[in-house]
Amino acid sequence: MSFSSWEEEAVWLVAVFVCLGWILSVCLHEFGHAVVAYFGGDTSVKDKGYLTLNPLKYTHPVYSLLLPILFLLMGGIALPGGAVYINHRRLRNRWWESAVSAAGPFASAAVTILLAIPFGLGWATPSIEHWIWPSLAFLVVLEIAGVLLNLLPIPPLDGYGIIEPWLPQKTQIQFNKFSQYGIWIIFALLWYVQPLNQVFWNCTYTISDFLGVPPEMAGQGYDLFRQQTNILILGLVGCLWLFRRKELGWYNKGEKLRKSERYEDAIAAYNQAIKIQPKYYEAWYAKASLLYQLQRYEEALVAYEKIIQFQPEEAHAWFVRGWILGELQRYDQAIASYNKAIEIDDNLEEAWFYRGKTLEKWKRYEDAIASYDKAIQIQVDYSDAWYNKACCYAAQGNVPQAIESLQKAINLDRDRFKDYAKTDSCFDAIRENQLFKNLVQDFINS
């Protein structure tokens, strides 16, 4: 195929097309992370604008958009950087954590398949001389390479994020210490170790060939893309300078320190980010969560109130504020905070559950049971809610209802609650009841 007659026009069109295509794929990649996180329990991603497919809403426009495109223009492989801040502490379990990490590469793979459809249908052939097909072929190959790299089980890539929740805590800490070097190590190996480079690109072109994308057409797209990109590189370098955000550096440093269990240093890094940008929501949230984890409740309370000041409709922040107030024995304020969380998000089962616990401490058993019932209505296998409900019935002397709720709790988490039933003081009022004795004995024997 000869491009000599329109080469000067094509190089710009190809460069713009590939860069815009990459930006779109990054948006969909990060949207994949965010939408799965939303259904997994971190509803804050919606308030942060991560479900809008708007690149400007992402946390790291430099690392997620500009730097990858710069690598592209310089002839490298562009990888989408971590652009959305996912609060993993809000995700329901390890399965959801893995799913959130897998969602990005899955979205990128789906984009790759869609982009390859014209080749599979035979619309794009070497006999058709038009810049769109070589540039599309090149973009498909880049997408495949990005997916393959991103699935490597090396921090900070998504492949590692998929397995990280299942690793022992000590192993996670050791791996996370080297996360900042992972990308550079991968690129160095692919650049200098030719056998690895050859295996990687052989896999990439095998997949592209399977999708019907001719490797030679992708190579032509690459040649066009590289011909006159110096001006674009200079422009992007200028954008990197304009969009530089020092607070992001401090925030990222704080995240790495937190993962390495250097908690005081992490808090200091978050504080530096906040000093530069006082309304830096993610830094406040990370700091608040860490203070909460360290049981420094008074400081955490101040941080969560700052979050609420910036995002008054953030239900989870109201919920954690209520929990902290409960720990500080400021129960009336705790109930008010839980009520606000529920007003914002009626399906926040944790808020209903801990509201019930606070009411139970006040011996308002009927109200507590109603709150536990609401939590169970949202999550029917909420074993803690069933157990606490049993305790409320026991305190009221309602033996049949207490035993029924306790039996449900034990069925959901046998090893945990059968021991509680034998020793927990909340069942003192009915411990001599024969039905109760039979229930506990049955579970002991089982």
Residues 91 and 37: their CA atoms lie apart, in Å, by: 7
Q: Which listed residue (7, 8, 30, 360) is catalytic?
A: 30
Residues 436 and 446: their CA atoms lie apart, in Å, by: 16
Instruction: Estimate the crossing angle of helix 132-150 against helix 94-120, to 10 degrees.
Output: 160
Our answer to whether residue 30 is catalytic in this structure is yes
> For residue 442, what are its two tokens?
């049955």
**What do you get for the CA distance between the two ends of the chain, in Å?**
76
Q: Quick check: helix, strand or coil at residue 248?
A: helix
Residue 413 CA to its chain's centroid (Å):
28
CB count in 10 Å sphere of residue 57 = 17
Shortest CA distance to 427 belongs to which of 443, 406, 404, 441? Answer: 406
Q: Which residues are catalytic?
A: 30
